A and B are shown apart, each in its own frame.
Chain A
Amino acid sequence: MADPMKKTPVREQDPEVRAKNFDEVCFGYDREEAMDEATRCLNCKNPKCVQGCPVSIDIPKFIQELKAGEIGEAYDTISESSALPAVCGRVCPQETQCEGQCIRGIKGEPVSIGKMERFVADWARENGIRPKAAEKKNGHKVAVIGAGPAGLTCAGDLARAGYDVTIFEALHKAGGVLSYGIPEFRLPKSRVVDKEIENVKSLGVKIETDVIIGKSVTVDELMDEEGFEAVFIGSGAGLPMFMHIPGENANGVFSANEFLTRNNLMKAYLDDYDTPIHRGRKVAVVGGGNVAMDAARTALRLGADVHIVYRRSEAELPARAEEVHHAKEEGIIFNLLCNPIEILVNEDGWVRGMRCIRMELGEPDASGRRRPVPIEGSEFEIDVDTVIMALGTSPNPLISSTTEGLETNRRKCIVANEETGQTTREGVFAGGDAVTGAATVILAMGAGKAAAKGIQEYIESKQ
């Protein structure tokens, strides 16, 4: 029987073993553990957890179904709100969302909602259960740009409502950040991501890869010539940022996007694949978000000693608590309150070290976090041969610059109504990182969901 105050522990690969492989770190709950954990839910009348969920899954309902052993029903409940439950159960920052609101969490540990969601989704997949497709098609065509979390969610919701949906994906593989960004050891590709995408396809959604909107075809052509009544833009985050410090173009300096794309999408860590990757000896990853943790733990698995270099303190690390915890367990060294000022380059043009300066926290800045301030005279060098910049991204202008009437803001993000996804161009909706700048999988899914509703209302209002 579960301890009411504590989460049912979840089995994980031993840190020393997993630091050398790309297999999934967390094994997840089995049926017994999941059902046991379900007994900890208080089934609140006014469930705060649902408010904390960007896609408003009826959490108490699925937990009660799970508790009763009705796992298929629990899957149906989750599927009504989420197109990608096996993904969300693994990568959502539950501690700041559903579990952050959990009443159980006031005195003890919150109910382990994410791990239960994962179990239910995995169980459904292993038992061949798929989400329910629409019984009747309504004949309206909608185009979705980008097969990432926002696009897949928007497409899934519209298809379930009977719409004829085609997703256009720029890369050769669907999934967006789920395929190119998040590593195998956190989100298995063929076992989880590909299956979730197949589920979306089973709802009737078509996915056309290798199509770059703004280049291969424009939004205007989709609407005027290909007969799409509405378009959803979920094109994702875009261009990696650099620090603009000396030495940044040296050999051995990579954006996290490049490093992770080579490894995850192109599978450079597997011998059978042609794409090369640079396995550093001593790697510094600059940044403190989930992408930084992913890059650091990937470099570690490729055989390097890895340092995280972050300019604020541990409390400000934007990464999920679980990722930081896992990274530390695996032996990643955290150089906090430390900022690079120069990358040192040898005569062949390769990185030979990085010059940093120590930081201290000053007054809070616009983000509410205390501003890091350099401590004069505290410069020092660290011995690295590889630097990975994980500093965030800025939006890709490909679509906004080729679509008439689509407004962007100061940060070059597409302007869209938060509740409907409506942009400044009629019939064109947007959501996810293309609108908000780099954020999380689940926030993008929430935006895709809102836009699906907005698109339905728009098309209905035209009739």
Chain B
Amino acid sequence: MYPIVHADKLAANIYRMVVRAPRVARHCEPGQFVIVKIDEEGERIPLTICDYDREEGTITIVFQPIGASTQRMKELGEGDSFEDFVGPLGKPSDLIGMDPEELKKKKIIFIAGGVGTAPVYPQVKWLHEHGITADAIIGAKNRDLVILEKEFREVCNLYITTDDGSYGRSGMVTKCLEDLIEKEGHEYNHCVAIGPMIMMKFVCLQTAKYNLPTVVSMNPIMVDGTGMCGACRLSVDGEIRFACVDGPEFDGHKVDFDQAMKRMTMYKTEEGRALLRLQEGETHHGGCGNCGGDK
């Protein structure tokens, strides 16, 4: 069992938990992820690592409830436990393995969208600890959905933008990036974009125009997370790659986002059914149009 030592709500429908998992905390690096399973009936949920404390042996995860298992997860609090918590999975961010001299030459812009802000944090923090202060854009729908602002301000130059202009700049992250580069004279030679696939797609279309190398972190559907099932496969430069073992970070200019987005919808109806069963419990006997309970 993996005890939750701290739990709080970062925004409407975004939750943070600090979980004791010493083996994971000892080895994880920025860019990697874990898989959590709440109990026997739970689904295996891949979540990027938001922070870690090697001495305390803890990992911080941030998630947005979507399916039945994550809906149940948000009800957990301090003192509860996950039945399973496995990792670190995937490869660490390329920045971590880079030669320090080469790294110092990088002018890095991070672009974080929504709950994707969480996996950006350990990277900017790691860079800060290694003497590099990067720029970062956090994009959110509105003021209430901006997360981790304080944490980011301590370790990077932060730009916040909201779709409705209720906080920080107004507009999408792509507009903010455009303004920084085209109007405000910022120069970058490395971009890391993590967020919803649609955001990463449009960031990549834009950075391609600037010839700005862009790394994205893919979060496709996954089961085991160790390469066994192939559910997380993507087309990268026309080749089949597994996000769990070959990624999760890839060259964003080579990822087939349209295909990846379609694959994300694969279990939409099944997930919806599982959620309905959870919400309606024994009273769910059809009406979802799928389970056949009304036939």
Contacts and interface: CB of A to CB of B under 8 A. Distances in A.
Contacts of A211: 23, 86
A272 B41 contact: yes
A261 B262 contact: no
B226 interface: yes
Contacts of B84: 172, 209-210
Contact of A274 (B23, B26, B67, B224): B67
Given A274-B68, A276-B274, A398 B86 contact: no
B125 to A, nearest CB: 21
Interface string B213-253: 00000000001101111110111000010100100000000
Given A249-B233, A251-B266, A272-B41, 9 more contacts: A180-B228, A216-B24, A240-B230, A249-B263, A258-B231, A267-B41, A276-B67, A276-B273, A278-B266
A217 B242 contact: no
Given A170-B86, A210-B84, A396-B227, A276 B262 contact: no
5 contacts: A212-B89, A240-B228, A257-B228, A262-B223, A276-B267
Interface string A248-274: 111110110110011000110001111
Contact of A215 (B27, B44, B262, B267): B27
Contacts of A185: none
A348 interface: yes
A242 interface: yes
Given A251-B262, A258-B223, A261-B224, A271 B44 contact: no
Interface residues of B, number: 46
A398 B223 contact: no
A272 B235 CA distance: 34
Contacts of B228: 180, 238-240, 257, 261, 396
Contacts of B87: 212, 215-216
Nearest to B38: A274
Contact of B43 (A215, A217, A239, A275): A275
B226 A398 contact: yes
- Say which size band chain A's interface belongs to: 35 or more
Contact of A255 (B41, B230, B262, B263): B230
Contacts of B189: none
Nearest to A272: B41
Contacts of A240: 228-230
Most buried by B among A239, A261, A277: A239
**Which applies to chain B's interface (DSSP): helix, strand, loop or mixed?**
mixed
A-B pairs, top 3 by smallest CB distance, nearest first, are A276-B270, A349-B262, A258-B229
B163 interface: no
A366 B42 CA distance: 45
Nearest to B232: A258
B231 A254 contact: yes
Contacts of B72: 274
Nearest to A389: B230
B30 interface: no
Contacts of A396: 226-228, 245
B223 A239 contact: no
B179 interface: no
Given A215-B27, A276-B270, A170 B240 contact: no
B85 A216 contact: no
A275 B224 CA distance: 12
Contacts of A341: none
Contacts of A251: 262-263, 265-266
Contacts of A382: none
B83 A398 contact: no
A212 B229 contact: no
A107 interface: no
Interface in B32-53: 37, 41-44
Contacts of B74: none
B220 to A, nearest CB: 11
B167 to A, nearest CB: 35
